[in-house]
Structure 1
């Protein structure tokens, strides 16, 4: 059984009113309308989000691949959130060979991942290479002091500024940026400081 530590989200071990849980679930609900074809849920954690996608998008999604670096987490996902259209696999998001191992996807979801990675450039390259032409990426991350700068979160390598975050997706044909406050998402409004951004990108 997984333990509830750090930033790990395990719905079965958390109160339904837990703020972190609600925010994470809200991100999947936000992203579900974009899901189609073969879907990658990178850094899927316990697997609840992958199952949400598979259940909610029966007509739009052919298969969901949930990937996480932790083998115990993947074994938990297989036992707890098993679904005929889901395959859970162990994998490193910054492995340069990941695109060859996993193949192409029509949709890629990446929630609260990039801020944990030392080689964010390799991660972004992997994502781009795994996304099919015309495919959609939905990626979220919290804002902070900037790339490479220390932050208050012990599990984060860094946290981008808003400007840095918006500049990550220049390789994509279209990019729409949204901002999350609590469980709600909206375009930017002047004078409001948002804790987290979500990019919806089309290759």
Structure 2
């Protein structure tokens, strides 16, 4: 087990490995949908923090080849980074091992026009520090696209074994007060929408401009 950005995730914990899953697997489809949702916002130098097995970086590199100059995929687990380099290699993508809470990460990586962070913050005990790190890594005018499942709230237990906690929708929105422009969407399966009365949502997605 590895401690760090993914909050003690093992290689088989919550890693999405598309080649080992059926194409109709619900979790796989939800994860892929988040990358497709994010593609219109992706440009320039891109960071995928807690990139996992690399399928998302590869998707983005192919879909946004004209808009993207470089994609850096960072994950805490060295086995995962090795797998990504082997299975999802692309000329515009660089995978490397790193901890999102490493205070020297901005100096090591530089700054980015776009940052993607999907299903990561719920694994981090200090979500405020995590958000501060993302803010330091993002260029002025840059875009952050971040998703997280909803739950009982900060510091409250969760039924998910790899989640430290799951924020409430209100706590989720409060994460982005430093950004100049914020749009919150809600994911239902592979669809994304603004909230509707009477509909319960389990995942929030924020699109933020610094």
TM-score bin, normalised by smaller chain: over 0.9
Partner of residue 170, structure 1:
177
Deviations 1:117-167 (A, max 9, x none): 122122111100010000000000000000111001000000000000011
Of 109, 126, 134, 2:133 maps to 126
For 1:201 and 1:43, the matched residues in 2 are separated by: 18
For 1:121 and 1:164, the matched residues in 2 are separated by: 11
For 1:148 and 1:167, the matched residues in 2 are separated by: 15
Q: Give me the TM-score of the superposition, normalised by structure 1.
A: 0.97
Give the SS at the match of 1:169.
coil
For 2:96 and 2:126, the matched residues in 1 are separated by: 21
For 1:64 and 1:76, the matched residues in 2 are separated by: 17
Any stretches of 5+ residues in structure 2 without a counterpart? 1-9
Cα RMSD between the aligned structures? 1.0
Of 111, 115, 120, 1:113 maps to 120
1:100 aligns with 2:104: no
For 1:85 and 1:60, the matched residues in 2 are separated by: 11
Aligned counterparts, 1:9-158, within 5 A: 9-158=16-165
1:6 CA drift (Å): 2.6
For 1:123 and 1:5, the matched residues in 2 are separated by: 24
Deviations 1:58-104 (A, max 9, x none): 11000000000000000000000000000001000111111111110
Give the SS at the match of 2:175.
helix
Runs ≥4 residues deviating over 3 A: none
